[in-house]
Amino acid sequence: MIHYAGEEELLGFYLQEQTPIGYGSLPFAHPRTARDDMSVMIPEGEWNAYVDSDAYRVRSQLKERARQWFDLIEPFSTAVLSAQTGEANETPLDMHELVLRMAASENLASRARLATAFVEKYESVPPEIRTSRVTACLCHPGRLYVFLFVPWIYRSATYAEYRAYRLQLMKCYATVVPVKFPGVREVLVVGAQTHDATGTRSETMIYTRYDQLLSPAEIAEATELMESESILAELPIQPLGIGANAAVEARRFGRNERCPCGSLKKNKKCCNITGARYGTTYQARIR
């Protein structure tokens, strides 16, 4: 680096060199792309060029969607600090902190993707229907989120009974996940009440880490839960491929892939993003 005109110019350059997992990039800083005889100068105008670009408009869309992720996890933090976590009041503070830190560690692109997945599913679930959606984390390889929507059949159970049942069901999903997704390292299950005529709403989160291979007994338990409780039963087995160089690899987004802006639509029907030199430069068509 010989010269850069200002911090905003360096930031503009960084944010335009997007990687597939949603971070910016300084490609000249990577050993695989840098050369001993390479020198870099970033002049004035880089930030203004970024603000005028389609990439900036896509990022603005991501920020709008990402706010919904904050709206989901912020009440958990408030409840923990005020000891208003219901049946989880006896859970040690460091365990609450671990779950919240995990949910808050997602970068902008990942928060937007997770929020879109949660909100779209929540708004589309009919009353009294149990359903779920599994979404891979964009920026932490090996991490999955399970959004589980469980109705409260208030005519046959108290709210406390419903919450206890939902928590047990969440643990069952955490048991099945490593069988359906070989290679998963950790999962956060978000259990939510299906919207209904009561107007009430609540969410619960649990975290599970998988540090060892499953035993035959654990596989048998997961298989039984899939069959008896229909937990992820229709999902095919999906091994998680975790590449060590995922953060710096260039790639192109296919027209039929999900758009990286987080909308969950196909790329060709959303931003129509194409690949670039080192990371992903957005050639976006904003709707």
Same domain, 213 and 256: no
Report in angstroms the alpha-carbon separations of 280 from 63, 107, 160: 18, 16, 48
Ranges of beta strands (E only) in the chain are 3-4, 41-42, 131-136, 143-150, 186-193, 203-209
Q: What's the rounded Cα separation, in Å, for the pair 127 and 151?
A: 7
Is residue 286 a part of any domain in this protein?
A: no
Tokens coding 153: 């059949």
Same domain, 199 and 264: no
Q: What's the rounded Cα separation, in Å, for the pair 285 and 259?
A: 12
Q: Say what the pLDDT of residue 95 is.
A: 85
Q: Say what the pLDDT of residue 55 is.
A: 82
Q: How many domains does the chain have?
A: 2
Same domain, 97 and 179: yes
Same domain, 106 and 220: yes
Residue 14 parent element (H or E): helix 7-16
**What stretches in the chain show pLDDT beneath 70?**
30-36, 85-89, 241-253, 259-264, 271-287
Same domain, 220 and 257: no
Backbone phi, then psi, for 24, in 5-degree steps? -75, 180
Is residue 110 a part of any domain in this protein?
A: yes
Q: Say what the pLDDT of residue 169 is.
A: 95
Is residue 107 a part of any domain in this protein?
A: yes
Tell me how crowded residue 170 is: count the other CB atoms within 10 A of its CB: 21
Same domain, 126 and 213: yes
Q: What's the rounded Cα separation, in Å, for the pair 30 and 70?
A: 32
Q: What's the rounded Cα separation, in Å, for the pair 279 and 18?
A: 5
Same domain, 16 and 129: no
Under 8 Å between Cβ of 163 and 87: yes
Q: Say what the pLDDT of residue 177 is.
A: 96
Same domain, 106 and 167: yes
Same domain, 42 and 164: no
* Domain boundaries, position 114: 80-229
Q: Say what the pLDDT of residue 242 is.
A: 52
Is residue 68 a part of any domain in this protein?
A: no
Same domain, 189 and 221: yes
- Rounded to two decimals, the pTM is 0.76
Is residue 238 a part of any domain in this protein?
A: no
Same domain, 255 and 196: no
Q: What's the rounded Cα separation, in Å, for the pair 190 and 132?
A: 10
Is residue 236 a part of any domain in this protein?
A: no
Same domain, 99 and 134: yes
Is residue 180 a part of any domain in this protein?
A: yes
Is residue 59 a part of any domain in this protein?
A: no
